[in-house]
Amino acid sequence: MALALAALLVLVAWSFTAGRFAVAPGDVARILWHALAGGDSGLGANVEAIVLQVRAPRVVAALCVGAALAAAGAAYQNLFKNPLVSPDILGVSAGCALGAGIALLMSLPIAAIHAFAFAGGLAAVALVVAVGTWIRGRDPILTLILTGVVVGSLFGAGIALVKYVADPYNQLPAITFWLLGSFTGALPRDLPFTLVPIALGVAAIWLLRWRIDLLALSEDEGRSLGLPVAGLRLAVIVAATLVTASAVALAGTIGWVGLLVPHAARLVTGAAFARVLPLSLLLGAAFMLAVDTVCRTAFPTELPPGVVTAFIGTPVFIALLALTFRRQS
């Protein structure tokens, strides 16, 4: 835990200094200090603008989106009693993306984009739960993953339709780049629209962390232990979907974080959700920031972070799938 926190701080420092225009760590600290405490850093408006207007929002956005997706992933995994799900695998991210895409198409204000993303995400979860309950396959883990794939592709078709009807000169490139997953659009004035819902959703998940543990048990066990299972599941769905929607509305569909990070956390802490959650928040934030910083500094042109997480996530997912089914047989 302390190690993860230390790593996160080092990453934040690195992310502020690295980039097309290198800024010395001492200067970053001075600018941030003066921005908070008031006064003039004496480093010039250019450097200040880079630190405060370009890098700070981007760092904050990456940290929040990483933490949000990891927390949502951990919560969904307990909720569905399935360690192989995450917002993207369940199709929730696609639902949020369709909602946000429709709002972009109609040129709605940012608050509406978030609201539409949330509505799209809830629709996707509702569909996954409904289809999953109706099918009740012999292998619930695989059934749920397949249901998520199907729901995700349905909403993906919706997104394709949105792109098809979008104005090809302005809207289409904007929607396409946003969907690839990117933090370039993190503007200081828009950040509160993301941070507030994420903070609310994560706070709800945090407060319920002792109860969310019991969701991993069978429904009969949970209810006989006095747990209001239906109400708790609804609360967790709303909180995790709210968090996912805000992350998607800001940064597009960045996959795999919600799957990989809780798994990494469980390797360290064991299954208890009250310990998985804080470590997932820290690791998710650190992972996302590291990926984004590499994406914007390591190559001549910026890479979308969603591409990098997919390159890491796909082989790890296959390994986890193999491990899960080996254990089953």
* Smallest distance, another protein to C-beta of residue 61, A: 29
Q: How far is the CB of 259 from another protein (least distance, A)?
A: 13
CB atoms within 10 A of CB 299: 9
Which is nearer to another protein, 1 or 271 (by Cβ)?
Answer: 271
- For residue 272, the one-letter residue type is A
Our CB check for another protein shows the closer of 106 and 207 to be 207
Closest approach of Cβ 79 to another protein, in Å?
12
Nearest approach, Cβ of residue 225 and another protein (Å): 5
Nearer residue to another protein within complex by CB, 33 or 210: 210
- The nearer residue to another protein, 60 or 227, going by C-beta atoms, is 227
CB of 83 to another protein, least distance (A): 5
* Residue 122 beta carbon to another protein: minimum distance, rounded to whole angstroms: 22
Cβ proximity to another protein, 114 vs 211, nearer residue? 211
Q: Which residues bind another protein (CB under 8 A)?
A: 78, 81-83, 141, 207-208, 210-211, 213-214, 216-218, 220-221, 223-228, 266, 270-272, 274, 324, 328
Nearest-approach distance from CB 272 to another protein, in angstroms: 5
- Give the number of other CB atoms < 10 A from CB of residue 9: 11
Q: Which is nearer to another protein, 139 or 167 (CB)?
A: 139
Of the pair 227, 239, the CB lying nearest another protein is at 227
CB 304 within 8 A of CB 317: no
